Amino acid sequence: MSSRFSIATPLGNFIAEYSENGLAGLSFPDRKPDSPDHETGEPKISPKVRDWHRITKTALKNMLDGHEPKELPPLDLQGTEFQKNVWRAMLKIPYGKTKSYGEVAKAVGKPKAVRAVGGACGANSIPVLVPCHRVLAANNKIGGFGSGLGWKCKLLEIEGVSFADSRVRQPRRFSAGRS
């Protein structure tokens, strides 16, 4: 079972994908999803998935409005055990705060696995809600981001986080409906 729903925000339409276990994916508006921006999957959607989607919409909108979400839907984290450990560590980074790739590596008990932490961040299928944008490179530099540095900068800006990076002068401004 897989269901996809569009979530309209002032920054564009995100696509949320649900498995039978919870939220399994969240795509940024600037990515080209595999399906159209509307509900797909089984014609009859279970009340459980509808509830998860309501929670996801509220959490995403809170994040994009500059507020920490009070509740997240069940997360269906699909990856290796190491990746799941990294994603769980990212969920513990407080709203408006950051950690370095090295700090996350230490938090998961693999202090030398800094590059692997970066790879796990890049493999995160539920960005924004599993906050890989809160993981920065050494010396508070921006690092990379699978959906582009513009999105990472925007999410950090929304949370009031400052960072140092000569490659990024001004966070890119997004307008509603831009894809």
**Structure-model confidence comparison of residues 167 and 80, the more confident one:** 80
- What pLDDT score does 165 carry? 60
Residue 138 in this model has a pLDDT that exceeds 80: yes
Positive or negative, the Cα torsion across 123, 127, 131, 137? Answer: positive
Angle at 144 between CA 110 and CA 63, to 5 degrees: 95
Query: What is the rounded distance in angstroms from the CA atom of residue 155 to the CA atom of residue 175?
Result: 14
**Structure-model confidence comparison of residues 2 and 39, the more confident one:** 2
What is the mean predicted confidence (pLDDT) over 34-55?
A: 71
Nearest to 60, CA basis, from 10, 118, 110, 1: 10
pLDDT in tens, 56-89: 999 999 999 999 999 999 999 999 999 999 999 9
> 154 in helix, strand or coil?
helix
Residue 171 in this model has a pLDDT that exceeds 60: no
pLDDT in tens, 90-117: 999 999 999 999 999 999 999 999 999 9
Residues designated catalytic: 132
pTM to 2 decimals?
A: 0.83
Residue identified by tokens 């897989």 is: 2
Measuring CA to CA, how many Å separate 167 from each of 13, 66, 141? 27, 25, 9
- What pLDDT score does 36 carry? 43
Residue 7 in this model has a pLDDT that exceeds 50: yes
Burial class (CB in 10 A: 0-12, 13-18, 19+), 152: buried
DSSP-assigned letter for residue 18: E
